[in-house]
Each structure stands twice: as C-alpha cells, then as structure tokens.
Structure 1
Amino acid sequence: MNVFVYGSLCKNQENHHFMKEATCLSEQAFVKGKLYTGHSYYPLLVKSEEEITYGELYEIPSSLLKELDQLEGYSTLSEDPYFVRERSEVSTPHGVTEAFVYYWPREAKGEAVHNHDWKVHRYIQKDRLHYFAYGSCMDNSRLCDHGVDHLFTSIKGKGELNGYRLAFSTHFEDGSRADITEHPGDHVEGVVYEVGKEAREYLYQREGVETRVYRPTIVHVTGDDGITFQALSFTVIEKKAEIAPPFHYAEEIHRGGLKYLSENYMKSIEYKFMEEWKVPEFKTYLQRKGWRQ
C-alpha cells in the first residue's frame, strides 16, 4: 500500500524515522489540497480542488499504517479524529496513482505555505543554506551581469543528485531550459553554493518562481566527500516535450560545468548538445576553445 506524506514524515523532518521500513517512490509527488502552517512543527493539509501540495510518496508495509494512524490521531472508531485518512489520487513524474493521505478535517490554522511545499518552507528559514545549480547558474557570467556575483562566492564544489536526470522541459522563444526530473538509476551533477537570503531572493526571481515557471524544491545531494545533505534547487512546474536549448544557454552550462563536474559527465553533456539536440554552433565552439577535437 502507498501513503503520501507532506510534513513531519518527509525526509529530514522530525518524524521521518517512522518511515525507515518504507520505500520512497517519489520525492516530487503532489495531491490536491491547500497546505497551512498550523500551530506546531507539522503542517495541516486541507482539501481543495483549486490548490496542490507537494510531498513524498511511499510504499509501506501494512503494519506501518497502524503506527501512522496513531501518530496522526486517526481511528475508524472515533467520530472526531485529529486527522482523517482517505484514499486520494497522487501525481508523480511517472503518472497518477492512489495513496492514503491524512487531511486536516477542521478549519485551517496558521498561514498558507508559500510554494505549497513544507520542506522548502522549513529549509529556507535558515540564514545560510546549500543551493544546487545544475544549469546556467553553474556559470557566473549572468551573475556578474546582474551584479550579484558577490552573493555566490562560497562554492562548495561538485554535488551529485542521484535518482534524477537532466532534462530540457520548459520552452522559451529561443529554445528550452534545463530541468531535473526523477529517473531511477540516473544522476545529475551540479555546483553546490552556500548562499544567504539575498541570493535566494535573486534565484526566486531569476527562476520565475512567482510566475510559476520553476518551483523551489529540496533535494539530497552527495558531495565529493561522500556526505549527503539537503540543498535548495528548482524544477520546472509544467513539463513539456524536450527540445534543444539555444547555443548561449548550452555554452553557459558547459562553461560553468567545466570547472567542477566530472569528465565523464561533461562528455555526456557535450554529446547531448552535439548529437542529440544538434545545438547550432556548439561543436564549433568546442573546437574553437580546443576542449574537444
């Protein structure tokens, strides 16, 4: 059986230890419903056809359901449970399935959670946080052009995001832009920065968070030292069929990645741009720079 979690049971949250025998099926799942901050360390999910809430989808053993019911204050014998458990449709990057979801059955308390993601809401409370860049933000040319390069000087090096692949699934007039999407067995390399609030505000504006192009998400990145940690990143909301990026964007990705990413990963990026997408000018650019013959 499956369960969708969106608060304290998520990764790196207070009650995630309950999920030690569960199998994570998707970190980028969502259901219909509106999320509120509530009155404690956990949020409240209220039914709504107009809003969505992001969370994680797990396959769990039947024995765990009783523990989760107890944690959420739900019982089939109670006429007024703390939370109610219902079967609901859950969307993932791989399709739609059914799962148990715990809803708040009373009037909402607290404020609506911005960007509909409790993990993001909690993580961005930090004064300093990790940011995982996998696209053009690996390169500092536009950071310099925008006068914010001084906000991105604390570079931790390469990070590896497992269980995802690099996609080009949002469209602009001149071509696509990069995205990360869940894909078992694959990985995405990127540059890890340590950033403050001002840098985060810049990233939200650059990634079109308020205009719903990208949304912030929390991913789990492994550094060169083998240690895995949380990081803020961004993923496309309305994913479309992949098309080629423009040359200037491909150049930024390549130029930024060369400084930090592995040789094998960079070769795979070059192959994608030259052979799969046939980005105009890219092969000439590599030859001119002397990086590939």
Structure 2
Amino acid sequence: MENALVFVYGTLRKHQRNHYLLKDSKQISEQAWTYGELFDTGNGYPMMKKSNSEKVFGELYEVNQKQLALLDELEGYKVGRNDNLYERDIQTIYTDNGESSAYLYLSERACATAIASGDWKIYQLLKQKPEKVLYFAYGSCMDVERFHKANVGHFFETVIGAATLENYSMKYLYAASDGGRGDIIEDSGITEGILYETPFEAVNYLFKREGYLIGMYRATFVDVQINDKVYKDVLTFHVYDKKEELAPPEHYAIEILRGSRNRVSDAYYKKLVKQLRELNVSFELTDWE
C-alpha cells in the first residue's frame, strides 16, 4: 500500500517522548497547522477536537503502513471499533509550502483544560517555567540596541554564539504599515542568528515584542547548530500570516545589519546586504561595511 501523510501535535512531535515511532519516517514540515482545538488530558498528552476557527500546530510526516499501524496502536485506534480512545480522520494541513490532506487523531472525549496557544510544546514551556530558556534571534532581533532601549539587556547577557538554522530562509514576509519584516520560512535554505541563554522572565518580553498574543508572530521551536553541537528545541518566532516578500523600511534594514555585523559569518552578512539591495531598500552602510 502507498505511504500516508500524518499530522502530529503532541507526544509524537520532535524531541517528545513518543517521537521514536517516527524515527524512520520522512519529515515534510515541522511548522504545520490545521483547524482544531487542543486540550490537556491531564495524563501527560494532549487531545485534539474539531474546530472551524481555532488552530492546532504540529508537524507533518510521511509514513509507511507499518509505521501507521504503530501510530494507531499508540493512539488506541482500531478500524470499526466503537470505543477507540482516538479516531483517525483526514483533514487539510497547512505548511509553508502549501496544503496537504493528512491523517490525524481526534477525540470528542471531555477535557477540562483548553490549550489556548494550540501548541503542546509552547503550553509545556509556559506551564513548566524552566529557569533557563534557549532563544534563537535572527533578523532585527540580533540588534542589541533594542534590548537596551526596552531595559531588558540583562536578560540577553549570556550569548552562546552565532548559530545556524538549516532548512529555513529569512525573508521579509510580514507586512507592516511601512514595509516588510523578517520571518523564517521552511525551504532548503540556511538562516544564521544569535543563540542566547535567557532567564524564563525574558519569554514574556519576547512574546510582547513579537506580538505573539495578537497574532503577529508565533512562538515555535527549532534545532540550531554551533560548530558540531546541536541545540534542540530552541525558542524562536515566525510569522502567522505570511505574505509575498515586501521590502522593509530603512530603519529596519539598519537594525538587521547593525545586529548581524561581526556576529554572523561574513558570507551570511553579505547575503543579507544583497537581499536588501535586491528589494531596492535605500540605506547607507558606511558604518558597517
């Protein structure tokens, strides 16, 4: 039989405890979403219900029939059985590269705690409140002057180093009133940025700065690399509602170049400059070139 696409949103996600069941599968997208509502079962895993307006965030994988059978077993699903823990259904899944129909596991059993973010990993972060949080800053977020102006520079004093995010490109896909803003999009590209170790208190500042609660940028987790070391499930932000790439204003371009100069690789810095020029952004580089 043919392979199938499966959308996962809980303990099957990357670095979660049941992800081993997907270790030989093909990841299609780690920034996928679908319409639904997420709940905490209170048993260490979430449950998803149907919704026409709320969103659930997760990952999309291609699996073979043997792997699908293992997922069915984990989710307590059997074809034709009346008392399944979860039902396997098909829904439209949305990614940076388009839409796909995929299997996912739903339940209509009663659950008391709704997960407002629609993201199991973000929910865990906010619930557990770890003492330290790894944060990947890219684009204008590399500019430390903005931290100091907001009186939060002390949150970002521990710099682990310049990090590389593979299979993502930085583009200007958020449309503000005066032009584009930086975003990461899943593709075959590479994005460089700065990896920080921050106190948990910095998360509230970052959520506010990125407009998380009003739907501008969404908090998510990625793996980044410094030399040969991989840092897993690092907090970063990307755009909810991506638009066609739009030239950013000069002041924003300057923030990006000021924040990245002598911090990311020379090749990546030059790529940022070239990208801005190709978008016909007018700016002076005498202070940085």
Superposed pair shares fold, TM > 0.5: yes
1:113 match: 115
Matches within 5 A, 1:86-105: 86-105=89-108
For 2:7, which of 4, 7, 18 is the aligned residue?
Answer: 4
- Tell me how far 1:193 sits from its aligned partner: 0.7
**Residues 290 and 2 of structure 1: is their aligned pair in 2 closer, same or farther, counting only changes over 3 Å?**
closer
For 1:205, which of 208, 211, 217 is the aligned residue?
Answer: 208
**Residues 38 and 290 of structure 1: is their aligned pair in 2 closer, same or farther, counting only changes over 3 Å?**
closer
Contact 2:135 2:235 in 1 (8 A): yes
SS in 2 for 1:203: helix
1:133 match: 137
For 1:172, which of 171, 176, 187 is the aligned residue?
Answer: 176
Please identify runs of 4+ aligned residues in structure 1 that moved more than 6 A: none
For 1:13, which of 16, 36, 39 is the aligned residue?
Answer: 16
Q: Name the % identity.
A: 38
1:33 match: 36
- Structure 2 letter corresponding to 1:20: K
SS in 2 for 1:253: helix
Contact 2:136 2:195 in 1 (8 A): yes
Distance 1:41 1:259 in 2: 44
- Tell me how far 1:239 sits from its aligned partner: 0.8
Contact 2:93 2:102 in 1 (8 A): yes
Distance 1:59 1:202 in 2: 37
1:278 match: 280
RMSD: 1.3
- Tell me how far 1:110 sits from its aligned partner: 3.6
Contact 1:54 1:116 in 2 (8 A): yes
Contact 1:23 1:60 in 2 (8 A): yes
The reply on whether 1:161 has 2:159 as its aligned counterpart is no
The Cα offsets for residues 221-252 of structure 1, whole Å up to 9 and x where unpaired, read as 11234324221111111111111111111111
Gaps of 5+ in 2: none
Q: Give the TM-score normalised by the residue count of structure 1.
A: 0.94
Distance 1:135 1:38 in 2: 37
Gaps of 5+ in 1: none
The number of residues matched between the two structures is 284
- Tell me how far 1:290 sits from its aligned partner: 5.9
Distance 2:80 2:112 in 1: 28
1:122 match: 124
1:85 match: 88
